[in-house]
A and B are shown apart, each in its own frame.
Chain A
Amino acid sequence: MKKSVIFGAATLACMSAVAATAGTVDDVKARGKLNCGVASGLVGFATPDANGEWGGFDVAVCRAVAAAVLGDPKAVEFVPTTGKTRFTALASGEIDMLARNTTWTFSRDVDLKFTFVGVNYYDGQGFMVPKELGVSSAKELDGATVCIQTGTTTELNLADFFRTNGISYEPVPIETNAEAQQQYLAGACDVYTTDASGLAATRAAFENPDEHAVLPEIISKEPLGPLVRHGDNEWGDIVRWTLNALITAEELGVTSANVAELSAGTNNPEINRLLGSEGSLGEMLGLSADWAKSAIMAGGNYGEVFEKNIGENTPIGLARGLNAQYTDGGLIYSPPFR
């Protein structure tokens, strides 16, 4: 038993990997796996199932990137992170990218030195109240007890909102969504506030969802998106354009069902460029020509990913809303593939 300490040191020497300082894409290729940081359990966005398989909206982004880079959507190591550990994990190179419903803010981008490659979900902070309270606006919440999840931008928005409206409240900070849900249902807080998507997901899981209402006020902008470290633009480009590829695919009507067929070549040059049958976009990224095809095959285009994980036919039942394609009046918009 005594010897295990030295063995520990030995394994440590053996197992310590080389950090990703530059050339993340090479590291990922050499490793054969993408290390992707996700939430450690958020309904609809990242959850492990009974077999340990991860699924969810954020997870799909990881899988698409893995498929684009390595050709295999399963070649992902999911690293569960908490609100506290997520940025350190990314900064220290423990993960290659973070897809953990993280709000794109100035200080995270500039001060913490991360690059947000895009937005995969436009969210905003909302309030949920039991209907029996008869509250119809967040401004009527004077003196209410509000459950918030700590470690997010939520508590800052909340403080600002109540402060600017000159009303008082009692914050109840809570670690996980599950506990917030429990407290809210038991009446330990009057209001539950978090991102509107989270509210919808939480409400959907209630025994009687109809007894609760989401208030109309959205008090903040929460553009959630995947992020990478500053300073590795090649890698940033890969993640950015993989996300864009999913979005463009939806816009162009490329789905996981017809992508194989379309990749043989179509009349639409943009589809051809996207799927690699024309031009050399993949090569420019340092990937294979069919990178976008693999990414789309992984879980479908943006719309499919949305519908499968959080869309209206899932228990979470989110409408596309702001997250519809710009052609449908939403904000989801990808720069052209050209």
Chain B
Amino acid sequence: MTTLTDPPKESFRLSMLIYDTRYRSATIQVVALMGFMLLAAWLISNTLTNLETLGKPISLAFFTEPASYDINQRLLEYDSRDSHLRAAFIGLLNTLVVAVLGCITATILGVLIGVLRLSKNWLVARIMTVYVEMFRNVPVLLWIVLAMAVLIESLPSPRAFRGENPEATMSLFDTVAVTNRGVYIPEALFHNSLGNIHLFGQSSMRFDISLDLVAFLVVLIAGLFVSNKIKQRADKVQEETGERPTTWWQRLAVVFVPIVILLAILGFHLGYPELKGFNFSGGTHMRNSLIALWLALSLYTAAFIAEIVRGGILAISHGQTEAAGALGLRQGRIMSLVVLPQALRVIIPPMISNYLNLTKNSSLAIAVGYMDITGTLGGITMNQTGRELECVVLLMGVYLLISLSISFVMNWYNKRVALVER
């Protein structure tokens, strides 16, 4: 039985492109596409004409020229004869370092503050509220500059460590020097080092991998793997017999004994910072610019994360807490076993955007002279070469890539923890 009759066949008229809903969407799309392409073409042609008048045709040749400037905070070796590309690469690594460090501390601080804001202790809750409001309502640029100023003004300069009766002394049994140039911490050294692998030859991306580190990681991962196996076996035994064998010492031993042996073979020792000449030498030097940026970004972002965490916890129905209480769990365990895991689902999506914000805000590093990618590629390199277009476009591309990868990874994680509904 057919109740539907075919619509009367109409010959195609031009006005149907606008009025007929079957064609309208196609029309709109074609018009939009054309508009977009026209806009793009217009912009590009303008750019080309303008660049020609300025006498600066687009070229990336400057990348291979020596950068001629020094970068103090760097993960890889770099010297002023290296190319601009290498400088940009160093800058990129610096951006990533501060972003990763910042995200980790901001999360820890944020969760702590968010939980404390819900504390029953009136005073603590108030202090946390003041903290959150203070940091959220003042621009991050100001916080970065202030953090730097506080570090510079309140910490002793290396000069204060000198002399018979120094005004300042090193902390933690003379192993860590906290100065207003940064923090010097002991570094790992090896008597019988295995050496490095050089990757990428002499190119701008070259870097060394320490074989000691590789060996350390291999042993660690192997240890963890075996330890996991022991745990699985213990689980199995528990399921079968109801009794869980004591394995904690086995698991610890499996992880730590090989590491200790490896370190002994390699001749592990710590290199302590000591005052030499103008500065401390030896040890690992974390510059103040990095610490200030890291501190300011994590404190600032922590305020936002705290609010998200608080919101997430409040979103968990009170019945959950009461049920957990009825099961006899203590406050701390209720929080860590019942509330937080559920709250995570609410928390993660806004958290992603905060991580992204932190990463993007790290571009304010130039305010404290931290040489991130904005400071190298978008700063000195751009200044010295005068290639604004190339530098800014590349800079944007790099940030876009970082942002997209962070959101990709976090979205993937978000999907994993999302509630699986039946």
On A, residues with C-beta under 8 Å from B are 21, 83-84, 87-88, 91, 107-108, 111-113, 132-133, 141-145, 150-151, 155-156, 158-160, 163, 169-175, 179, 182-183, 186-190, 230
* Cβ–Cβ < 8 Å partners of A133 in chain B: 159, 278
A188 close to B157 (CB less than 8 A): yes
Given known A150-B366, A151-B380, A170-B72, contact A188–B375 (CB-CB < 8 A): no
Question: Is residue B120 contacting chain A, with contact meaning CB distance below 8 A?
Answer: no
A150 close to B369 (CB less than 8 A): yes
Given known A111-B386, A113-B55, A145-B181, contact A175–B369 (CB-CB < 8 A): yes
Question: Is residue B152 contacting chain A, with contact meaning CB distance below 8 A?
Answer: yes
Please, how many angstroms separate the alpha-carbon atoms of A170 and B279 in the complex?
A: 9
A84 close to B382 (CB less than 8 A): yes
* Cβ–Cβ < 8 Å partners of A188 in chain B: 152, 157, 180-181, 288
Measured CB to CB, the closest approach of chain A to B160, in angstroms, equals: 8
Given known A91-B54, A151-B383, contact A172–B72 (CB-CB < 8 A): yes
Quick one: which of A84, A87, A173 has the most chain B CB within 10 A?
A: A173
Question: Is residue B367 contacting chain A, with contact meaning CB distance below 8 A?
Answer: yes
Please, how many angstroms separate the alpha-carbon atoms of A174 and B287 in the complex?
A: 13
**Size of chain B's interface in residues, with CB distance under 8 A?**
43
- Other A-B contacts than A143-B276, A158-B70, 8 sampled, CB-CB below 8 A, are A84-B382, A107-B386, A133-B159, A151-B383, A156-B384, A186-B157, A186-B180, A188-B181
Question: Is residue B80 contacting chain A, with contact meaning CB distance below 8 A?
Answer: yes
Per-residue 0/1 for B146-163: is the Cβ within 8 Å of any A Cβ (1 yes, 0 no)?
A: 001100110011111000
Given known A83-B383, A143-B277, A171-B70, contact A186–B153 (CB-CB < 8 A): yes
Quick one: which of B276, B279, B288, B382 has the most chain A CB within 10 A?
A: B279
Please, how many angstroms separate the alpha-carbon atoms of A84 and B385 in the complex?
A: 11
Contact of B278 among A91, A145, A171 (CB under 8 A): A145
A-B contact pairs, 20 of them (CB 8 A): A83-B383, A84-B379, A141-B278, A143-B279, A144-B278, A150-B369, A150-B379, A151-B379, A155-B380, A158-B70, A160-B80, A163-B81, A170-B72, A172-B181, A172-B369, A173-B375, A175-B369, A179-B148, A186-B153, A187-B160
Nearest A residue to B386, CB-CB = A112
* Cβ–Cβ < 8 Å partners of B158 in chain A: 187
* Cβ–Cβ < 8 Å partners of B103 in chain A: none
Contact of A187 among B180, B276, B289 (CB under 8 A): B180
Measured CB to CB, the closest approach of chain A to B378, in angstroms, equals: 9
* Cβ–Cβ < 8 Å partners of A160 in chain B: 68, 80
Question: Is residue B371 contacting chain A, with contact meaning CB distance below 8 A?
Answer: yes
Per-residue 0/1 for B38-66: is the Cβ within 8 Å of any A Cβ (1 yes, 0 no)?
A: 00000000000000011110000000000
Please, how many angstroms separate the alpha-carbon atoms of A132 and B152 in the complex?
A: 19
Question: Is residue B210 contacting chain A, with contact meaning CB distance below 8 A?
Answer: no
* Cβ–Cβ < 8 Å partners of A183 in chain B: 152
* Cβ–Cβ < 8 Å partners of A190 in chain B: 278-279
Given known A163-B80, A172-B369, contact A186–B375 (CB-CB < 8 A): no
* Cβ–Cβ < 8 Å partners of A230 in chain B: 55
A113 close to B383 (CB less than 8 A): no
Please, how many angstroms separate the alpha-carbon atoms of A91 and B382 in the complex?
A: 15
A159 close to B80 (CB less than 8 A): yes
